[in-house]
């Protein structure tokens, strides 16, 4: 059960944190006459609900969590707040693992023709580098891993002398949304981004395929300052990104467990403090006023007198502490569940040995990798739309080379880079086996998933691979071989040089 307190710091989101809702419109066409009504309905409806949830998630990730408002009715003067910010831990790992290394554009095979390199794509990558794409990717990933959705906008650059003819902008998902058609195609009908002025008015910019609408909007006065200009790109320049189909943040499903850990640890600190400040119980005894003051000041000496009923006086501290071992076991269980739900590897030792494969499987990196693979397809689908926008702007620019203007998205693929050095011996042996059995080296390299930039590695290595395989067909020792050293390449004259082979014969 969701247990989120409705206070000045936290909105009431009980049962609502199940991902963001996709916004639709029943209108089949967006025109000057209905644009404001479409935007108004979306902004005050589904977007308002999404925005409140995103605002909560951003604050939660920064550490503003419900335990801050915990209530304690018994001995309320002893109330500690302990926050273990596992939400930030999950986001930092997920973003670092998936976007810590550059995400580049590479050549794609088209019509069964292998594309090993394309200088036009290299030029586009240079443009993206000028726009600091890697840093903006990290910002974008943080947005959609926290809020469930993120947005990139591509617009023509005013500075025509720059290498890049476009601006790549990361938009705040709390102030941006896209309205889709309410049919099976779910076509983007209008994209809206806005800023809130100091007087509370929203300055809205709405993009359709044909026009750009700009107007001010507030609840009291409605629309004002309406302006319309043609959209020179002839398509919506804002692209939506998400890590999953639920539009949910990476830690969202584990929030109840995170709240439970915060409550438990806060209560544990309270327990320690209450033990130190235990209540003194007097039975058949009474204290003088001087003795009470002495006790409050921490004098440590207490004198009592009987109440005179003939019974023995008793003075003891009332103490009851938590079982710390059992409590810690429960906290460890909750933390382990958080890591499993969020796809974050644990820091425990391998239970199946210390080989690379065993550690990779037992510590949860396989689960993290599988989630990253699923994210890749979602990101690539959106990023190719961004690439299409970039190529449209390149075609309109006078400073872009003509060969780049001829480039199409069907020639481009997205290449992700992550650490692939685990289980290195087995994977290099698999690569050698695939090549020796006649598999195209480029496909073999992609299969073993060992290199960050497969295209570059292939281009730099293909001549050496061909030499090792075909230089001397009558000498089997010259083949790429799986040897006892697990090196993956036979130590022969054809692979290491004549001089080295003679010295080590």
pLDDT at 306 over 80: no
Block residue for tokens 């073993």:
448
This prediction's pTM:
0.76
Average pLDDT over residues 96-113: 80
Please state, rounded to an integer, the average pLDDT across all residues of the chain: 80
pLDDT at 158 over 50: yes
- Rg of the chain over Cα atoms, rounded to whole angstroms, equals 32
Q: What is the pLDDT of residues 395-427, one digit of tens each?
A: 988 888 888 999 999 889 898 877 666 667 788
pLDDT at 208 over 80: yes
Q: What is the pLDDT of residues 11-38, one digit of tens each?
A: 445 457 889 999 999 999 999 999 999 9
Block residue for tokens 């449209």:
392
Provide CB contacts within 8 A for 280, sequence distance 6+: 295, 315, 316, 317, 318
- Give the chain's end-to-end CA distance (angstroms, integer): 72
User: pLDDT-derived band of residue 489, with 50, 70 and 90 as boundaries?
Assistant: very low
pLDDT at 328 over 70: yes
Average pLDDT over residues 85-94: 94
pLDDT at 332 over 60: yes
Model pLDDT, residue 385: 96
User: CA–CA separation, 441 vs 236, rounded Å?
Assistant: 40
Sheet containing strand 238-241, edge to edge, reads 166-171, 150-156, 238-241
Residue spans of the domains in the chain: they are: 23-57+105-241, 279-318, 420-505
Token output for 313: 């006086």
Region class of 75: left (phi > 0), else alpha (psi between -120 and 50), else beta: left
- Across 101-175, the runs of DSSP E, i.e. the strands, are 104-107, 150-156, 166-171
Percent of the chain with pLDDT over 90: 40
């Amino acid at each position: 059960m969701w247990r989120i307190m409705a206070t000045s710091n936290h909105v009431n989101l009980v049962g609502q944190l199940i991902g963001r809702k996709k916004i639709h419109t029943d209108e089949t066409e967006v025109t000057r006459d209905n644009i404001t009504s479409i935007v108004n309905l979306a902004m005050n409806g589904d977007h308002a609900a999404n925005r409140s949830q995103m605002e909560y998630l951003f604050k939660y990730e920064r550490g503003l969590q419900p335990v801050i408002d915990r209530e304690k009715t018994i001995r309320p003067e002893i109330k500690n707040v302990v926050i273990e910010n596992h939400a930030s831990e999950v986001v930092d790992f997920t973003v670092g693992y998936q976007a810590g290394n550059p995400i580049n554009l590479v050549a794609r095979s088209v019509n069964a023709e292998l594309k090993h390199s394309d200088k036009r794509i290299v030029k586009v990558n240079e443009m993206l580098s000028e726009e600091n794409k890697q840093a903006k990717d990290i910002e974008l990933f943080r947005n959609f891993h926290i809020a469930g959705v993120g947005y990139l906008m591509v617009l023509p650059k005013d500075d025509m002398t720059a290498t890049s003819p476009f601006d790549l902008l990361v938009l705040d998902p709390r102030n941006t949304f896209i309205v889709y058609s309410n049919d099976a195609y779910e076509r983007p009908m209008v994209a809206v981004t806005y800023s809130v002025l100091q007087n509370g008015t929203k300055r809205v910019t709405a993009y359709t395929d044909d026009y750009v609408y700009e107007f001010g909007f507030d609840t009291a006065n409605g629309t004002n300052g309406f302006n319309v200009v043609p959209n020179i790109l002839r398509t919506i320049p804002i692209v939506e990104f998400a890590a999953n189909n639920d539009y949910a943040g990476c830690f969202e499903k584990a929030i109840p467990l995170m709240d439970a850990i915060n409550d438990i640890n806060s209560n544990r600190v309270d327990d320690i403090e209450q033990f130190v400040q235990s209540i003194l119980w007097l039975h058949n005894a009474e204290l003088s006023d001087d003795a009470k003051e002495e006790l409050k000041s921490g004098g440590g000496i207490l004198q009592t007198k009987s109440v005179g009923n003939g019974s023995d006086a008793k003075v003891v501290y009332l103490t009851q502490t938590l079982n710390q071992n059992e409590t810690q076991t429960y906290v460890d269980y909750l933390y382990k569940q958080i890591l499993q739900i969020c796809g974050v590897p644990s820091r425990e030792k391998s239970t199946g040995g210390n080989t690379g494969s065993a550690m990779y499987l037992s510590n949860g990196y396989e689960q993290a990798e599988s989630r990253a693979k699923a994210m890749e397809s979602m990101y690539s689908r959106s990023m190719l739309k961004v690439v299409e926008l970039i190529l449209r702007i390149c075609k309109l620019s006078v400073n872009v080379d003509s060969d780049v203007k001829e480039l199409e998205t069907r020639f481009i693929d997205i290449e992700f880079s992550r650490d692939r050095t685990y289980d290195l011996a087995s994977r290099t042996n698999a690569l050698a086996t695939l090549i020796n059995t006649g598999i195209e080296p480029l496909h073999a390299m992609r299969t073993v998933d060992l290199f960050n930039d497969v295209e570059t590695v292939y281009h730099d290595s293909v001549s050496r691979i061909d030499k090792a395989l075909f230089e001397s067909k009558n000498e089997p020792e010259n083949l790429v071989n799986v040897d006892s050293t697990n090196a993956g390449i036979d130590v022969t004259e054809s692979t290491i040089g004549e001089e080295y082979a003679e010295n080590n014969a």
